[in-house]
Structure 1
């Protein structure tokens, strides 16, 4: 089977969620391809710089996924004659395709929270808002595929509830990065040395609800809330104006992988008060590092973290502060950290790659059996 994986969403700086998902799956599939005689792997990129952070496998140069040329992507790929193409998004051009197609829908967040990421081109942001005003455009996109991939059982259930596709939907989850999941002894050794830093990793879109974390910081004057991600200056000013008296809040405006790992190693907890998520990768990264997690009580967070996290209502700053205080109980913190490690070990990119390959093989076999 000739499998081509769409890596055009790979960021050359620090990954965002889509970038990490796609690049990590390419890396894991590449690792499995070496042991498989019937798998021929290639990547689709739109910027040669993306190759610097991707594995050394054959590649094809295609259009930017946010350009008008995206509509003709299938015609570009037909020249490569792949059997199956996988994209970590659902917008890949498919007109005239002669290959199997797997598309990904990560979540349904933007139907309830339609504000697009600020780094997208203005025309794409406008189309984004129009697209999420109705369900039918999503149905049209997904039904172009042979199968659909999503990252969680929670999202798969929502796709079914809204009848978004007639195609089979498969769960191929996110995972912590290889080698980052601590042993129980390593995690427990860190526990007494954890300080007073509280971390937030994620965007600052309204549905992320960072405002609750700021209010919680006001209830925790002996702690320090660190907001790690890059932030638009206007949004930063807006949030700074909401910092309560007595709260200690640090805006990092971006950290690299090494800084993030160091902060996870010493933090008292990672906090996440989102109103909606498709998966919650920062939670899994924290659990893998033995970092206690306090998060909003969402079905997806329950699916991912189970009893390895403490929960509070998304707008309940007092509940978040109380959960942080409860980590001062050594026995309770120890139990939560060990449970969190168990949840982190439940996910691996190799397992996700195997699941993706099983879906791709199924699509390829189904198309091969079709009458000419």
Structure 2
């Protein structure tokens, strides 16, 4: 799978390629259509998210290479990975920011469905990561119907969205405009998405082979923050105006308002007497909102960059074809 540098897509919008990838030098700032620098709040959100993506990718790689927790291979355990492109046609609204005045006008990075299938005897599970704001129940049901012949059902398919706000509108938000038919009249975007997601599952199932797995985690305390600290500390009886509190004001400590843990499931293929990296399923809690609400390009956002960084770093070490699958964690940490 060939992918251009996602840094350019995350950092600059001074050029556009309609149906491909972005190339070029990395610029650590965001720009609007007239080339003016765009800052969000008191800090550059794009820069922060690029740093987050790189940190998550690097830490995920570190955890995966640590070796601790990778269990001895079992001849009964098999694993397979599969990827499929889920980038829809242009002209659609986005899901997440809910801007009826903004339509997809180009592609910064392709959107992907990535699937990891694990089997042990008759027991099976499919872990599916998609570059969407979320996954609808009817999509989950339809996906299960498409892969039922593989022994997969709604009970053993975990379908998770990366929570990118730069994917197609699937009418998740009650205030979304009904643009399911936009862009290509008569084309249903959910049907297309389910078709492609099912393809990634089938590719993963077809690639099943003996494997070993392990789990580990690491804390990344400075990669995310809570954007609603005043609401969070209100749980402790502290009433404060907006934008007046810092993590230090949390009675339980500065990390109480976030989930800093990156957890990683490492999967190695067993080849004779040795193993080789196959995939990594990792989770971290942070909104996928590096691109601002005015964005008009499809993109997998910072989580896609973290997957790309992970895969590229392993490829540089001679492990080509490794698939990284991102799962978003608890983005609203604390009492609900």
Task: Give the alignment's TM-score, normalised by structure 2.
Answer: 0.21
- Which of these two proteins has the greater Rg computed from alpha carbons? 1
Query: Which structure would you say has the larger RCO, counting Cα contacts within 8 Å and 6 or more residues apart?
Result: 2
- Relative to total residues, which structure has the larger helix share, 1 or 2? 1
